[in-house]
Amino acid sequence: MNSATVRHILDTMEEMFPDAHCELNHENAFELTIAVLLSAQCTDATVNKVTKDLFRKYKTPQDYISVPIEELEQDIRRIGLYRNKAKHIQNLCWMLIEQYDGEVPRSHEELVKLPGVGRKTANVVVSNAFGVPAIAVDTHVERVSKRLGLAGWNDSVLEVEKKLMKKVPREEWTITHHRIIFFGRYHCKAQSPQCEICPLLDVCREGKKRMKTSKVRKNKEQNANSKK
């Protein structure tokens, strides 16, 4: 894919979602880390409902480790995999207290050492909390990148990230991450993408295939109806 096509994709997404942003509610790096950890295999909307009360009750790492694990589990039980996530949260908080003076580390290398924090979570935290350019590849970013040809169909999540970092200007990494998520969440959905009204249909491999299939199906239906 040439640079002109990449620019076309980025500019189109900017026109569609000029106000794209992180939709996880948080007030600081610590809350964002907890929210992203909770968001694995769960929607941002559900996480925000849970953290509305959670962040009122727990303000610091010490707060999370001061309650029995069963109590924390109950506080987040609406979240998928809540037992594992409660365990990760308490272990993470212990590590913050013992190794980082209770503060969330600012570097990607240190963040991924924390329990429950993978590469995606670390990228979200450094970019949104500390202003370090990064592209976090979640299911939306992976799906859209592959459909638009920004990455290969068989690329791993890490390979998708590396290809996006190479093709997108560094100063646009963070905002591009948000715009691709909005594009995937509200327009190019997994099961029902809006191909028929998509301004990027001309560069979308998946969209062209879907539209061709849809056209063939309609022609068959029309032919069948004409024979009745």
The Cα 38–Cα 85 span in angstroms is: 7
Given 44, 75, 120, 163, which residue is catalytic?
Answer: 120
Given 75, 138, 163, 167, which residue is catalytic?
Answer: 138
Of 131, 97, 104, the C-alpha closest to 36 is 104
Question: With contact defined as beta carbons under 8 Å apart, do 145 and 180 qualify?
Answer: yes
Tell me the longest C-alpha to C-alpha distance in the chain: 77
Residue 120 annotated in active site: yes
- DSSP notation for the chain: --HHHHHHHHHHHHHH-TT----S--SSHHHHHHHHHHTTTS-HHHHHHHHHHHHHH--SHHHHHTS-HHHHHHHTTTSTTHHHHHHHHHHHHHHHHHHSTTS--SSHHHHTTSTT--HHHHHHHHHHHS--------HHHHHHHHHTTSS-TT--HHHHHHHHHHHS-GGGHHHHHHHHHHHHHHTS-SSS--GGG-TTGGG-HHHHHHHHHHHHHHHHHHHHHHT-
Residue 138 annotated in active site: yes
Residues designated as active site: 120, 138
